Amino acid sequence: MKIPLSEIVYQVGRPSTVNRTGNNRITRTNRKPVVLKTSRGYKLLLGEHIIREKKNNGATEVECSVKESLTDQEKWELSLAEQYYS
């Protein structure tokens, strides 16, 4: 599902995992960012690298995998995946 970048918010208190060198495995793949649908838009769970790259390239929307709800275990697993691929 394509989502406007302006509707995606980063998780508060989550350390940034952006790879400053630009050599980043997750953006070189065709993975989609994972977002959680909220009443105020979408909370970014996985794919901060992709979102930042799209914004830097002037995109206004991005193809995402949208989750309606997640368990704490699933959120933890996504966090681990973000760390692994950064």
Tokens representing 43 are 């909370």
23 Cβ contact partners less than 8 Å away, ≥ 6 residues apart: none
pLDDT value for 11: 75
Residue 11 and residue 43 in contact, taking contact as beta carbons nearer than 8 Å: yes
Q: What is the pLDDT of residue 38?
A: 92
Q: What is the dihedral of CA 19, 44, 46, 72, to 10 degrees?
A: 130
* Residues 67, 86: Cα–Cα separation, whole Å: 22
Q: Indicate the CATH number for domain 2-85.
A: 3.90.1530
Candidates 45, 51, 48, 46; CA nearest to 2 is 51
**For 4-62, what is each residue's pLDDT tens digit?**
999 999 876 555 554 544 444 444 556 789 999 999 899 998 888 899 999 999 999 99
Q: Are 62 and 50 in contact (CB under 8 A)?
A: yes
